[in-house]
Amino acid sequence: MKMTGAQIFCESLKREGVDVIFGLPGGAVLPVYDALYDYVQRQELRHVLVRQEAAAGHAAEAYARVTGKVGVCLVTSGPACTNLVTALADAQIDSMPIVAFTGQVPTHLIGNDAFQEADNVGICRPCTKHNYLVKDVKELASIIKEAFYVARSGRPGPVHVDLPKDILLKQTEFAYPDKVFLRSYNPTVEGHPGQIKKAAQAILKAKKPILYVGGGVINADAAPELRELAELTQIPVTMTLMGIGAFPGDHPLNLGMLGMHGAWYTNMAVISTDLLIAVGSRFDDRVTGKLDAWCPEAEVIHIDIDPSSIAKNFHVEIPIVGDAKHVVARLNRELRQLDDGSWKESRDAWWQQIRAWKAQHPLSYEWSDAIIKPQHVIQEASRQTASLDPIVATDVGQHQMWAGQYFIVNKPRHWVTSGGLGTMGYGLPAAMGAQVARPDKLVIALLGDGSFQMNMQELSTVVEERLPLKIALVNNRAHGMVRQWQELFYNRRFVGIDLSVCPDYVRLAEAFGILGLRAERPGEVTATWERALAHPGPVLIDFVVDPEEACFPMVPAGAAVRDMVLAKPMSERPEEAKARAAKLTGF
C-alpha cells in the first residue's frame, strides 16, 4: 500500500505502540499534522499542544520516566529545533528514552539559508544518543524503527529524526520492519559471570558495605532485585537524585540521598565504606565532591549498562557491564549460594555506627512560628499524600534538594526531576507529561518561583488537557540556590537573584482558569494542602517561604565530602536574619 511520508510517520508510531505526541506545529511539519488529523479523530494517537518547544521535550522525558516507554515529541524546523535542544541535552544526561522529530526545509533547499532553516542534525548531534536526517522517503519507516530501538536499548537516551518537508509529501510503499540490525551497536545485557561471582565474594567479605544507587536501576526496572540484594545482605542503601524511588523511602535500610545536599550521616557512611557497590550510577561530581578524598578506603564494584561510564570518573576494582536487572538478579543467586552468615556480626557493628552518626546529626531544620519554612511545605505534602503514592515532579534549585531530602518516595517511576543538566523550567512540563502518562495518579509539581517563571505559559496546556496537577510554588522571591552560594562563598554580594517583581500568582492562576491559593503563615500550610488536594481540578498554590532559608547539609563545590557544612555560619544573630526576612517578605 502506498503512503506519503507523513502517513508513514503516523503509521510507524502506531506500530511502536505510541499513544501520545507532545508537539507544536509549524510550516515544515504541516504534512504530518494533516495526516495526524485522521489518527486523532479515530483516537489512535493523541496530540498534546504545548506552548513552547522545550516543554514538548520535557513532557516526553517525564512520560518516558513514569511509563518506561519511549516518549515522543514533534516540532517544526529552525527555531523550534533550537528551542528543543535543552530538552534533548537534559534527556541525554539523565538517560531518558525519547524520540524527537523535527521539521526541516525541503531537501533541495538544505544549506541555502532557507526560511526557518537550521542545521538541526549538527546542532542536535552532541546532545543526542543518535540522530538521523531522512533523505529518502523509502528509508523513513526503517529509520523510525531504528530510532525507537536505539532510544530504549542499552543506556537509554534521546534520538533525533529530522524530517525534510518534501520527504513527508512523497509517496512510497509502506512496510514496517520487524527487526533492527545495527552492526556496530550491540549493548551488553548479561554481566560477566566471573565478575559477578567476584562481586558476591567481595560483598560477603566486606565489613562496611554501601549500595550507591542511581537512575539506571529505575530505567532497568531493577527495583525488586535491588531490594532483594539489600535485604539479603542488610546493606545500607543510598540514592542519587535520579535514583530516588529505586528503593522505598520508608525502608529501614534506606539512608536517603547522598552527595552535595545529602544527609550528614549518609555521606559519612559513604566515605567510610570499605565496599562501594554502585548500581546504575555514574559518579557525578555533585555526588563525589573532591574525588581523591571520596571513599578513600573502599573497594568499588560498578554495575552499568554503559561501558563508557565505568571507571570514567572514579577507580573501579570490579567492573560489570550489563543491565542492572539481569546483573543484580544473578548476583543475588550467587550470594545465596556462597553465603555462610559470617558477615552478620560485622554488619551489625556497621549499622550501630551509622545509627550513632544519625543520632549525632539528623536531617533537620530550624522551625519558625513567624514564617513558613520550605521544608515544612514539602514535609506536609509528603505526609498528607503518603497513602496515595503520588508522582512528584520538581523543578531545579533549593526546593528540588529539599524535596530530595524530605519527600518520601516509595516506588520507582514516581519521582521526576532534572538531575544531570539541572534545567530550570523543567518541572511544570514534566508534571504535565507525567499526568498525561498516568491520569490515574495524583501528580504534584514542586516548583521554585524562578523556575516556574521560565515555563509558566504551560498553564494553558494544563487547562486545555484538563490535567488535575497540584502545583506548589516554593516562593522565596529569589533565585534561592544562587543566593545561597553568593551568601556563603561570595561575601553576600547579591547580584541577579531578586525576584520580588513577580506576578500575583493567585491571580495568574485564576487568569488561566485554575484555582489559586496562597499560604503566608506556618499555621496555614496544612489547611492549604488539604484544600488543594480536595479540589478535583488543577491548583496553583503560592507558598510564601523564608527567603533566608538555605539548604543544608551542603558540600561546597570541589570540596571533600568530609568538609560538608551543616548549618549557616553565624555571621549574624538569628534575630537579625528574622528581621531581614520580614523586611523582604513584608510580614
* Catalytic position from the list 129, 145, 165, 208: 165
53 catalytic? Reply is yes
* Catalytic position from the list 481, 484, 520, 548: 481
What helix, strand, coil percent values describe the chain, rounded to 5?
A: 45, 15, 40
CA–CA distance from 555 to each of 131, 315, 399, 420 (Å)?
38, 21, 17, 17
* Catalytic position from the list 16, 53, 380, 548: 53
Say how far apart CA 177 and CA 59 lie, in whole Å.
28
Q: Which letter, b or e, does each residue of 203-234 get, where b requires 16 or more Cβ atoms within 10 Å of its Cβ? A: bbebebbbbbbbbbbbbbebbebbbbbbeebe
What length does the chain have? 587
Q: Which of 538, 544, 480 is CA-nearest to residue 509?
A: 538
Phi/psi for 397 (5° steps) reads: 140, -160
Residue type, 412: P
Say how far apart CA 84 and CA 489 lie, in whole Å.
34
| Edge-first strand listing for the sheet containing 130-133 | 46-49, 20-23, 71-75, 98-104, 158-164, 130-133
Say how far apart CA 120 and CA 26 lie, in whole Å.
15
Q: Which residues on neighbouring strands pair with residue 254, listed in sequence order?
A: 237
565 touches 552 (CB < 8 A):
yes
Q: What is the dihedral sign for C-alpha 385, 389, 395, 399? A: positive
| 569-577 contacts at long range (C-beta below 8 A, 24 or more positions apart) | 569/488, 577/548
* Catalytic position from the list 14, 115, 207, 583: 115
What DSSP designation does 70 have?
P
For cell 511509563, the residue is 67
* Catalytic position from the list 44, 116, 201, 524: 116
Catalytic residues: 53, 115-116, 165, 481
